[in-house]
Amino acid sequence: MNAMPAPLRWLLLGSLCTNLLLATAVLGWTWRTAVPAQTAPTHLQSEQQLRELPMRRLQRSLGSERRELIQASFAPEREPLRESLRELQQARAQVASALRAQPFEEANLQTALADQRKRELAVAERAHAGLQRLAAQLEPEERERLAQRMAERRTGGRRGRD
């Protein structure tokens, strides 16, 4: 025979469930903070991304048989692009430093942001030079595929919406 009254049993069962719930929440929180989430980058964060992602997109648009043409078109820009990217990363670090500065000085942030814009423009100019060389050597159908791919990226893959 069980000497424990029924209400006490229910109370202990409720306590056990609450403890299990809390332990699960703590373990989940610990796991989540210990393992960083894999998020999509909002901007290019490394030289590797700068080289690989656009090249892969171009190859998907044009086909792998055009890989050599793509690489040759961007080859003159490779080193200047790397240097421009390094400078952009430094400019982004300066923006972060200006944001963290105590006391905060708006003029420093404004200068850092202006430098970042200048560096972003330099990266874009280099990439656009390679794209221009590539486009000049493509067939009209290939340029159309490339334009469609760019439009899809701009709209997030949505078609027929303005």
User: pLDDT confidence of 157, banded at 50, 70, 90?
Assistant: low
Average pLDDT, the chain: 79
Q: What is the pLDDT of residue 113?
A: 95
> Residue 2 domain-assigned?
no
* Tally of domains in the chain: 1
Residue 42 has pLDDT above 80, yes or no: no
Question: Would you say residue 1 lies in a domain?
Answer: no
- At 55, is the pLDDT very low, low, confident or very high (cuts 50, 70, 90)? low
Q: Quick one: pLDDT band at residue 5, thresholds 50, 70, 90?
A: confident
Is 39 inside any structural domain? Answer: no
Query: 119 lies in a domain?
Result: yes
**Does any domain span residue 29?**
no
Please state, as a whole number, how many other Cβ atoms lie within 10 Å of the Cβ of residue 88: 21
In the Cβ-directed half-sphere of 74, how many Cα atoms lie within 13 Å?
A: 22
For residues 33-47, average pLDDT = 49
How far apart CA 42 and CA 5 sit, in angstroms, is: 60
Domain contains 101 = yes
The domain of 70 spans 47-155
Cβ neighbours of residue 70 closer than 8 Å, sequence gap 6 or more: 55, 58, 59, 62, 134
- Cβ atoms of 45 and 92 within 8 Å: the answer is no
Q: Flag whether 127 is in a domain.
A: yes
Q: Tell me which residue has tokens 């044009």.
A: 62
pLDDT at 41 over 80: no
Specify the pLDDT at position 38.
44
Do residues 61 and 146 make contact, with C-beta atoms less than 8 angstroms apart?
yes
Residue 69 lies in a domain: yes
Instruction: Quote the pLDDT of residue 48.
Output: 52
| Mean pLDDT, residues 114-121 taken together | 94
Token couple for 133: 């060389």
Q: Return the pLDDT at 37.
A: 47
